[in-house]
A and B are shown apart, each in its own frame.
Chain A
Amino acid sequence: GQQLNQSPQSMFIQEGEDVSMNCTSSSIFNTWLWYKQEPGEGPVLLIALYKAGELTSNGRLTAQFGITRKDSFLNISASIPSDVGIYFCAGNSGYALNFGKGTSLLVTP
């Protein structure tokens, strides 16, 4: 599958701070998805983006589908301890989702 480059690899922040992470690809995708995964569990869908340029919010989360269709970012505002986990971006151009390696987020109270 296509390679997705996700950055940063990890983040260690204080409660209340805003967080930004992004994902780039050498290939075009029709859909960008953002998932959160906690230890021992499957990925949970956070936001789905279907159109280039689309900006979508889900509570404190905001994500955008890049104009070139080769990138996406996810912002988390006013982080809280339960935001801890690994955040994955995924691009879909057919049946399969292509995932990045994830951004590990740690939040201290």
Chain B
Amino acid sequence: DTGVSQDPRHKITKRGQNVTFRCDPISEHNRLYWYRQTLGQGPEFLTYFQNEAQLEKSRLLSDRFSAERPKGSFSTLEIQRTEQGDSAMYLCASSPPSVAGFTDTQYFGPGTRLTVL
């Protein structure tokens, strides 16, 4: 399968702990996105990378959150000092290089379900 992969699929942690998630995009996709989804809601945008550059961050991304994409391939999302309100599904998506005149189509991974106790 050559789709977007995420690891781990599930994470249970205690409040105050740090967690890190990994996303591997579809190969040759230079654009990578992180979203958060809570129960009964659609995904909400967190941040966007083009190659290794982080070009946009949502105000949802508090200073406890940090994302990296050091070599322009896989990405990590770290949450420090987790809070119960951080419990959600964290989704990664990728899209190919933009073609003139067309906006990106984003392909999602299976997500990482985070539960903070």
Task: Judge whether A1 is part of the interface by a CB distance below 8 angstroms.
Answer: yes
- Cross-chain contact A101 with B42 (CB below 8 angstroms): yes
Instruction: Please judge, given known A-B contacts A41-B110, A95-B33, A95-B48, whether A101 and B41 are in contact too, CB under 8 Å.
Output: yes
Neighbouring B residues of A102 by C-beta, 8 Å = 41-42
Query: What 1/0 flags go to B37-72 for Cβ under 8 Å of A?
Result: 000111111001000000110100000000000000
Neighbouring B residues of A43 by C-beta, 8 Å = 43, 91, 108
Interface size class, chain B? 20 to 34
- Cross-chain contact B108 with A35 (CB below 8 angstroms): yes
Neighbouring A residues of B40 by C-beta, 8 Å = 101
Task: Judge whether A75 is part of the interface by a CB distance below 8 angstroms.
Answer: no
CB-contact partner of A50 in B6, B42, B91, B103, under 8 A = B103
- Cross-chain contact A92 with B103 (CB below 8 angstroms): yes
Neighbouring B residues of A101 by C-beta, 8 Å = 40-42
Query: What 1/0 flags go to A9-33 for Cβ under 8 Å of B?
Result: 0000000000000000000001101
Neighbouring B residues of A41 by C-beta, 8 Å = 110-111
Known: A92-B104, A97-B45, A97-B93. 13 other contacts (CB 8 A): A31-B103, A42-B108, A42-B109, A42-B111, A44-B108, A90-B42, A93-B103, A95-B33, A95-B48, A99-B42, A99-B43, A99-B44, A101-B42
